[in-house]
Amino acid sequence: MTDTAAAENDAFIAPVPMESDPDECFAGDRGALAPEVRRVLVRLLQRRYLLAERSKEDWSVLIENQQLVESRLHDLFVRLIVDTSRGIAYKQQVRSDELDVPILLRDEAYSRAETLVLVYLRTVYQRESTAGERQARVDVEEVEQTVLSYFTDTDGDLARRQRAVRGALARLRQEGIVEEESEGRFLISPLVEIVLSADRLRELASWLRAENSEEAAS
């Protein structure tokens, strides 16, 4: 072999299979995050929240890499809130009057039935927390009994009102505010405190009392 041929052979770099590169998750991967951090980032974008109690491994990864995850979300104009006291992490859309911010996360307003159910869930959660209970649960029947008392004849017959209440519970379950542990039995998530603050709860409770007073007077 000539010196020229040997030099050419030395200069040649054989392709490295993807599985041989520990830093590459897939072919052509240009990401800089470790796989476990990427998974947490994706789950935060997919879900409304991340609970420490239910996702211990993901929570640990998030806490260890919080600044890194925040940086990636900030690139998307999304803010990360980590509440270690409640063991919950969630995201918020950044909004600004001074900057053109594309909206990634869109908020959908709650219907009247959903608001009524949310107020009841928040009230129960606060009552149980004040009593020293770590968890709060409700049955669909007790939710219906309370919420239906705020409905009027204009809301349709009983069957229609019950469907509205159960539909509201279904949406709140989809958003992670409640979890159906067994048929008709729901565990209330700490997320309810974030969705409905104590101040907002008082405002809505006052509104409901005023609404009931007006209906009683009419």
* Residue range 171-186: mean pLDDT, rounded: 91
72 and 11, same structural domain?
A: yes
What's the whole-number average pLDDT of the chain? 85
pLDDT of residue 208: 75
pLDDT of residue 86: 87
123 and 50, same structural domain?
A: no
Chain segment 88-118, per-residue pLDDT in tens: 999 999 998 888 988 888 777 888 899 999 9
Q: Percent of the chain at pLDDT above 90?
A: 50
Asked if residue 8 has pLDDT above 70, the reply is no
C-beta separation of 2 from 30 below 8 A:
no
126 and 54, same structural domain?
A: no
- State which residues form the domain around 9: 3-93
82 and 26, same structural domain?
A: yes
pLDDT of residue 81: 94
State the Cα–Cα distance between residues 123 and 140, nearest whole angstrom: 15
What total of structural domains would you count in the chain? 2
CATH number at residue 213: 1.10.10.2260
189 and 152, same structural domain?
A: yes
33 and 62, same structural domain?
A: yes
Chain segment 20-56, per-residue pLDDT in tens: 445 688 888 888 899 999 999 999 998 888 989 889 9
181 to each of 74, 136, 152, 195, 205, how far by Cα in Å? 35, 12, 31, 21, 28
pLDDT of residue 218: 58
State the Cα–Cα distance between residues 142 and 148, nearest whole angstrom: 10
120 and 206, same structural domain?
A: yes
Q: Is residue 143 part of a domain?
A: yes
Asked if residue 216 has pLDDT above 60, the reply is no
Q: Is residue 100 part of a domain?
A: no
Q: Percent of the chain at pLDDT above 70?
A: 86
Chain segment 55-79, per-residue pLDDT in tens: 999 999 999 999 999 999 999 999 9
Q: Is residue 105 part of a domain?
A: no
pLDDT of residue 213: 63
pLDDT category of residue 215 using cuts at 50, 70 and 90: low
* Residue range 147-151: mean pLDDT, rounded: 88
State the Cα–Cα distance between residues 120 and 205, nearest whole angstrom: 9
pTM above 0.85? no
Q: Is residue 99 part of a domain?
A: no
C-beta separation of 184 from 197 below 8 A:
no
Q: Is residue 193 part of a domain?
A: yes
Q: Is residue 98 part of a domain?
A: no
Asked if residue 147 has pLDDT above 50, the reply is yes
